[in-house]
Amino acid sequence: MGRIEVHEFISLDGVYESPSWTAEYPFDPKMGAAIGRLTGPGSELLLGRRTYEMFAPAWSTRTDEDDPGASFFNGARKNVVSSTLRDPDWNNSRVLGTYDPARIAELRDEVEGSLYVSGSGTLVRALLRDGLVDGLHLFVYPVVLGSGERLFTGDELVRLQLAGA
């Protein structure tokens, strides 16, 4: 049985949308190591359509020389939750269809490693609501953006347990 591991780049006020704002902060090698631990052998990607459509052109041309994560992102199965995407062209991708918590739970049971989720805020909120997230890894940046899509919308109680800081 696998785990669903969510990773988000997030601001102090909870904004995850369009993370280009993270570019002004250096990428710490510890962050890469942390992501590497989430994307180990037997792991797959679980993405929403918008994140998939951003990742596919960005990652499909990268090699390990460009980024040590390229092997994972290009080689792992990509499971895309979408009611509109039909024919994904990125290597080893499949469309799961509309969000179905029972199907996601089955998929989690099928994988050997983890289902790694990055971005995909709408999907992550649904996974949290349905109690399907096993690990939530927030890389919090020291900036308040003031506007943008927030991971936590404030309309639901989300109980979490701190595993480390």
Reported as a single tens digit per residue, the pLDDT across 22-36 is 888 888 888 888 888
The full set of domain ranges for the chain reads 3-141
Tell me which long-range contacts 137-140 makes (C-beta under 8 A, separation of at least 24).
Answer: 137/5, 137/6, 137/7, 137/8, 137/34, 137/38, 138/8, 138/10, 139/7, 139/8, 139/9, 139/10, 139/31, 139/34, 140/10, 140/11, 140/12
Mean pLDDT calculated for residue range 74-94: 96
The yes/no answer on whether domain 3-141 falls in CATH 3.40.430.10 is yes
State pTM to two decimals: 0.91
| pLDDT at 83 (0 to 100) | 96
* pLDDT at residue 160 is higher than 90: no
